[in-house]
Structure 1
């Protein structure tokens, strides 16, 4: 199987590359600042992302391991290991599903909820800058 680029592919203009480069730069700046905030708060960036996805899961206060793996773009076993570490730190707990006893629900514990709130608050200034710079639709104005 060849990885050659088709000759009929439309070429991108210089400003397309400049726009993509700037976006990737600003995204990396946000992520770097986020990493620093997480570490200063005593969490790894992945631990914070897990807490954030639990706190922000649409329609309910918990998520399954599979749902969290998808949100984290991680392999199932990687998500399980991360949940194990967060459970040991008393940030989350696993519970047997109410409707389906085979399903395992991951819930935030009070310590995890407090850390998620604190770290998310520290992200707001940079998030608002990105919102303004990229005019992201559907986000509330600061």
Structure 2
């Protein structure tokens, strides 16, 4: 069962609605929210809790979601990593969808829905069982 989700999105309104969807899906899930990819990377590079799932926006100032993925993939192999990353975007550009697939992450259109959370929970369970 998913215990912790990280939201990385510079849009406070999107984060608010995504947090509400997560709480509606399962009120016991801990939510960590960052408005910048740089701050999220600092969190992930520290000794703090690693989320089970990350929902990541593509277009953000400072560091884009793609740049975040580049840096995230450099995190030491000895450190635990989040098992599921989903790009959340308003973009329906096929190039973005293909790029996400090349990174091995899921791609969904905003907003985060209960159906998406259910799918993510299923993917998470499958990954955990495969470990």
TM range (shorter): under 0.3
TM-score, structure 1 length as denominator? 0.26
TM-score (norm 2): 0.27
